[in-house]
Structure 1
């Protein structure tokens, strides 16, 4: 197969489709696989099945895909006929128009067999339409109203497999009625042999089809004549007959017209010699549209003087009875005969009597006008008065004539009219007798007719075949060929006229057709010339003359090689001779040396010679070479890229894949092509978007799953582009796929470390917080929930005496027993060391909780075999009941912890329910809430600062601002006592704004005084994140203080961070735009873990003190801390450890590459003055000395 174009079709195919007339005829089976291509296209494919219509959309002009793609898909889905016209883009700035059509094929049993269709180059048609609007409209109407029947028949049997809708108009049968029947069943018995012989001739010789005329039975039983061009379809490989495709045209009217025209011409030719009548036609308004020459002879009127005028306008006396009757008849649309009226012959100054007959003309029920004949009856009238005997003898001849015959007096008034006159013109005798013939002429013909009339009287007394137009009684126009003789001695005119209206119209139609064809040949995009069989040029359009470089007129009549000597021994002449001799069309491309141009040439033989179309394709060939080189470079890049590459069409079918993707998915390329994208990517963010109208046009860095051929799922990262039409419909998808399976596995391991205890596998503090929050939400206000804080009694003694390994085994056994004695919906977690937490719904409140604890005590009371020793474990349990002892997970855990210590104080190995001292706590809370209203006004708040040290340089690099409240009665109120109340009462936003402003202001003062650039960290609450003024408050604090943005760090707790993820991400991005740093505080205590961190624009991760402090006693926490630090560094975060209180902890943090630390080891939180003194004291040097 040839190299494919971008759309998947061979470049030569696009070349042919772009440069020629009907180029592509195709047929598919029921599965959409191509089984037939016309020979010119089939030669471009190794197998017709390689041809895909869906590939053609890539070559469409972008502005047309929006319109064509839905129409095509809908038509195919509904299995109906379609025809569309659109443009194909060959290169920038150059397009070609094509018309694509297709029709479903059906078997005799009604089974769907596939489609048959064609793609036709209509560029020349569009060019002609652009230049000649009138010609374009006429051509369009002819095309759209064609009554041709297109049909497909089974081989040998002739059974209809398909019939176009025109079957109804032509044969009276619905297409569905024809399906399954044989074409031979409808043939006239005398014509069946002729049709079978033509089919047999094609099948044996393979020659082109020939037009055959025969008769076919209409549904109502009568026979019509048709002209059929049929083609036997053969399989391009096996030669098997696939059926016959026929184009049939109803030629009944044409045959009848030809026969009628032949008879009419013979009749009128003989009658014209005898008759002096004149013929006329009028339009619906009574205006002459045609008059025969007889009118001019009679009334001395040229056709241009009559045409466009009414008969009355040309009459001498409009009140004549004949004219009045004429007006009545045409108003009633009735035929009239022998209406006589007087016509004033201006050239003679006399009045002539005219007699006219006419009949209305209708077409499809629409009134078009009148046509008829007229004659001069002046002499007849005079002769009737003077020679009655002679008139009587002649009456029989006149009345029996089929031509108009009239006797007119010297005034041009009708004296005598025959029946033909009345029949043709539609007048009654009284309408014409005594009337001047001029009154019946088309006004434009009056002057010409009068001139002829005058010539009769002054020169030759006979006029033959004078054509003029007469107005019929109905108002129509009749074209008459008049023969008039002037009898000077009698002062009469003898006139005969033949109705030549039909011949006139036929001649006019032929003239129009000839002019139209010449206009088309001049306006087409191709150069064109025609040669007769003597090789002389009979027609050359201007494009041909321009190409050759000779005047067009000088080429007409010349022998081809005389006009163009270089052609004599050229390849062009070889093809021209072959077409002339063999009668077969030729299509070829060749190089024309004189012009230095490549030409695409099409030669069509005919009985008179050959017709040649050609055009310059030099630029196209150069563009094709450039395109092929570009495609080859692109293919090499795709083949070498390590990422997977896949191309899909609008339906999601895979069109192409590179080796990297095939290796990734375990398929060969030929196995992937034709499959649906969902087979390869069952989970993909761009798969659905392809089918969403108006969906996204690109996907970047989105995760998906590739399903390997062996069933394995691989995690991948997808970057894709979706091409859409103007309506937003997906046309194709191009995607690059990167395997991230190993990275996902590593993330999964980290996620497990973040949410589960690495020793026991139980949920850790973060996961406990998440599940407890969910449990409380489900419980609502009615279902009690017990939160139990479990601490093993004297575990430290066991751990110290037996070692860490037996201690870890003991903790695992305790975890197993706790987990095994709880319900599936209950939660058990390890917080660290020997501390466990159980959360369980208790429908009976304290009673249910006590039963659970006793069951756990019983499980723990059984001896444990650890390290070869029998160990007995006891525990102390504190219980807080929701909602009695708290409605938040923090309060419940805090109260359960308090109750646990009470249980230990009561003697260990027991449990204790939390008992709240309600009156004291309530009074204190009310006092705090009341005082908060005025605390800001009274300047009762102040900031303490705790230093942060860089663990690499051991220098102070920053400080955390911590809010303190110095109450006038309560003294220093801890933040945990008033901050939750401030959040609930709605004071936290105002307090937070004050903290931001004060911290920035004091940090700037410290920088100016000490010269140290210390980053100040300020805590935010979740409510502040939801405050729309937060970003403005930060911007204002920085502006008023003059503190550089990079020296301000805002902290948000891990649990608050994920309270509303989308909102927090948006606010953080706007804060980040100010140039400040962002940190997550208390990491390891919330319930987000690693799942959300990648979504936030963070800079710092602060490890909670609960993870840092127990390093001396718990090796598992050491691994967790180390994993968190490695993870944070991989995400680009720096890490700060909180709550550092020992040198050992400090050493550990240094070993695991922690960046900064803060805690009591360095300094407690200090007022600003004391903090200044700390900076000057050198206290950090003492810590360095201890570490050494």
Structure 2
């Protein structure tokens, strides 16, 4: 720091002046002297405040260069009031322009004095930046208290109301002038012990009342202060009403609704959920794990692994699952089918969010749909698969899709069924068909499938592997099972069948319809050879026909 004595020229000072100069140079406040509007002296504190490197940067320059334009008129007006040596202005606020471009808020006092025998002004600056920031903070907090929607209430240690903000007036319908000085219990219409709330963790949910007796759902937060307690009372009446409204709606739904916490535990379930799950008389507890209550089977009847459960899919991916079909066994062991939808309650926090599960019992619709699907692919008389189903199975087997490998197709035509219908009636013929279907099923292997394709005709798919000897043995079993007499209406009927076999091989190039035609051709050859015969299809025999 440069000694300011080098900036003002030689001055003839007596010892008293030297002591005064030393005091000014070491003052913590900034002190400036300006003469005829130009800076004549600036002490080291002023150099620091103005962010200059030395006083030489300011000496001789107009004082207005370092005063914010908004503060200049007031400064000049105050200086104009000083008429006698020693006159001083009242403290006033001003803004100085620092060399680093920042603005410094100061409080200034100007004094009319002399400098080297000429009139001058001595200015004392006090930095009020911190004071202004503190005042702004106080004003901000005061504005918060005045404008927040929560009631902010101050009490003395004994519970007397000492502060009551506008929100408290609105919530409790009590003006401040009639509330200050009242016991807090009287003011809020309910017992309230601030010390007990603080001791219990500082938060308490309770019910307060207005002077007219209207109930208020209030969340009270309490903090101890030197002068007593501060209470923040949040009015949750509307929220509580909305929650009750929502709960009433959820409880009235016919669709089951559950909330699952992040750990897979059931937080809540509406009455419909309990009814659907067969637990109407067994209220759920939060200790029940969803996986224990909700082990779901997919639409294919297979038990889903945990990662494929709708709740797990939603939690893992964040995506909603809509109308997933799965089944569970209720508390009575009855298999029920559910349409299940899931979504996150808080998509922004996938890991910490609960999952909303809604479901409805679609057992009746599912079984009806399954029955329609079954009826479309099965014979109504025997409940065996029909021609459409068996044709799809052959096509799938040849393509290696959705069906086991195929070794052969067997075509069966019951001999002389027309005679049974003509002599005993169609009901007897139907009985013979049902009995024959049952017998065929009983002698086949687990991987073989029998179907009725119409009238007295049956098809059998023989699963691979099966050699020619195996096929011949199967044909003999089919003939043997028909050899046992059939009793219908106290009449004995001896049934027989003509059997045609079309064997297939790996890499088969024929289509399903062609294989069926070949099996039919072989059956025709068997029928023309007499009752109870078997023939294998060959290309040569087919050409002969």
TM-score (norm 2): 0.60
Alignment of 1:983-998 (within 5 A): none
Alpha-carbon separation, structure 2, partners of 1:568 and 1:776: 91
Aligned residue in 2 for 1:1157: none
- Partner SS, residue 297 of structure 2: coil
Residues 741 and 705 of structure 1, relative CA distance in 2, 3 Å threshold: farther
Aligned residue in 2 for 1:394: 17
Q: Deviations over 1:371-405 (max 9, x none)?
A: xxxxxx6xxx6xx56xx3x3577346524641389
Residue 895 of structure 1, aligned match among 510, 521, 528: 521
Q: Deviations over 1:35-82 (max 9, x none)?
A: xxxxxxxxxxxxxxxxxxxxxxxxxxxxxxxxxxxxxxxxxxxxxxxx
Residues 417 and 850 of structure 1, relative CA distance in 2, 3 Å threshold: closer
Aligned residue in 1 for 2:84: 459
Would you tell me which structure has more helix in proportion to its own residues? 1
How far does residue 414 in structure 1 lie from its aligned partner after superposition? 6.6
The two structures, once aligned, show a CA RMSD in angstroms of 6.7
- Partner SS, residue 500 of structure 1: strand
Alpha-carbon separation, structure 1, partners of 2:55 and 2:481: 138
Q: Confirm whether residue 572 of structure 1 aligns to residue 192 of structure 2.
A: no
Q: Confirm whether residue 512 of structure 1 aligns to residue 123 of structure 2.
A: no
Alpha-carbon separation, structure 1, partners of 2:511 and 2:55: 123
Alpha-carbon separation, structure 1, partners of 2:255 and 2:32: 99
Q: Deviations over 1:347-375 (max 9, x none)?
A: xxxxxxxx7xxxxxxxxxxxxxxxxxxxx
- Partner SS, residue 888 of structure 1: helix
Q: Confirm whether residue 656 of structure 1 aligns to residue 282 of structure 2.
A: no
Aligned residue in 2 for 1:669: 283
Aligned residue in 2 for 1:736: 360
**Equivalent pair of 2:409/2:459 in contact (CA under 8 Å):** no
Alpha-carbon separation, structure 2, partners of 1:551 and 1:855: 100
**Equivalent pair of 1:787/1:880 in contact (CA under 8 Å):** yes
Residues 727 and 913 of structure 1, relative CA distance in 2, 3 Å threshold: same
How far does residue 912 in structure 1 lie from its aligned partner after superposition? 7.8
Alignment of 1:281-296 (within 5 A): none
Alignment of 1:800-949 (within 5 A): 852-853=471-472, 856=475, 877-878=499-500, 887-904=513-530, 911=535
How far does residue 505 in structure 1 lie from its aligned partner after superposition? 1.8
Q: Deviations over 1:856-880 (max 9, x none)?
A: 4599589967699xx9998655566
Q: Deviations over 1:806-832 (max 9, x none)?
A: x98999799869975x77766666778
How far does residue 525 in structure 1 lie from its aligned partner after superposition? 1.7
Alpha-carbon separation, structure 1, partners of 2:48 and 2:193: 58
Q: Where does structure 2 lack aligned partners over 5 or more consecutive residues?
A: 300-307, 488-492
Residue 258 of structure 2, aligned match among 641, 644, 647: 647
Residues 828 and 615 of structure 1, relative CA distance in 2, 3 Å threshold: closer
The number of aligned residues is 498
Alpha-carbon separation, structure 2, partners of 1:786 and 1:698: 40
- Partner SS, residue 669 of structure 1: coil
Alpha-carbon separation, structure 2, partners of 1:645 and 1:698: 13
Aligned residue in 2 for 1:715: 335
Q: Deviations over 1:686-716 (max 9, x none)?
A: 95287275545457xx6x4222568x5x332
**Equivalent pair of 1:338/1:429 in contact (CA under 8 Å):** yes
Aligned residue in 2 for 1:438: 63
**Equivalent pair of 1:791/1:834 in contact (CA under 8 Å):** yes
Residues 453 and 596 of structure 1, relative CA distance in 2, 3 Å threshold: same
Alpha-carbon separation, structure 2, partners of 1:604 and 1:886: 84
Residues 663 and 830 of structure 1, relative CA distance in 2, 3 Å threshold: closer
Alpha-carbon separation, structure 2, partners of 1:908 and 1:616: 92
**Equivalent pair of 2:258/2:270 in contact (CA under 8 Å):** yes
Alpha-carbon separation, structure 1, partners of 2:58 and 2:158: 58
TM-score (norm 1): 0.32
- Partner SS, residue 506 of structure 1: helix
Residues 842 and 903 of structure 1, relative CA distance in 2, 3 Å threshold: farther
- Partner SS, residue 88 of structure 2: strand
Residue 149 of structure 2, aligned match among 513, 520, 525: 525
- Partner SS, residue 736 of structure 1: strand
- Partner SS, residue 732 of structure 1: strand
Aligned residue in 2 for 1:688: 310
Q: Deviations over 1:1046-1085 (max 9, x none)?
A: xxxxxxxxxxxxxxxxxxxxxxxxxxxxxxxxxxxxxxxx
Q: Where does structure 1 lack aligned partners over 5 or more consecutive residues?
A: 1-334, 341-354, 356-376, 562-566, 922-1188
Alpha-carbon separation, structure 1, partners of 2:533 and 2:462: 20
- Partner SS, residue 328 of structure 2: strand
Alpha-carbon separation, structure 2, partners of 1:409 and 1:694: 74
Alpha-carbon separation, structure 1, partners of 2:288 and 2:19: 87
- Partner SS, residue 733 of structure 1: strand
Residues 494 and 708 of structure 1, relative CA distance in 2, 3 Å threshold: closer
Q: Deviations over 1:90-131 (max 9, x none)?
A: xxxxxxxxxxxxxxxxxxxxxxxxxxxxxxxxxxxxxxxxxx
Alpha-carbon separation, structure 2, partners of 1:717 and 1:725: 25
**Equivalent pair of 1:842/1:849 in contact (CA under 8 Å):** no
Aligned residue in 1 for 2:113: 486
Alignment of 1:775-814 (within 5 A): 785=408, 787-789=410-412
How far does residue 591 in structure 1 lie from its aligned partner after superposition? 3.6
Residues 338 and 628 of structure 1, relative CA distance in 2, 3 Å threshold: same
Residues 667 and 812 of structure 1, relative CA distance in 2, 3 Å threshold: same
Residues 432 and 393 of structure 1, relative CA distance in 2, 3 Å threshold: farther
**Equivalent pair of 1:645/1:734 in contact (CA under 8 Å):** yes
Aligned residue in 2 for 1:221: none
Alignment of 1:341-380 (within 5 A): none
Alpha-carbon separation, structure 1, partners of 2:188 and 2:450: 96
Alpha-carbon separation, structure 2, partners of 1:833 and 1:409: 126
Alpha-carbon separation, structure 2, partners of 1:601 and 1:851: 83
Q: Deviations over 1:774-807 (max 9, x none)?
A: 555569xxx995645465599979x999xx99x9
How far does residue 733 in structure 1 lie from its aligned partner after superposition? 2.0
**Equivalent pair of 1:649/1:733 in contact (CA under 8 Å):** yes
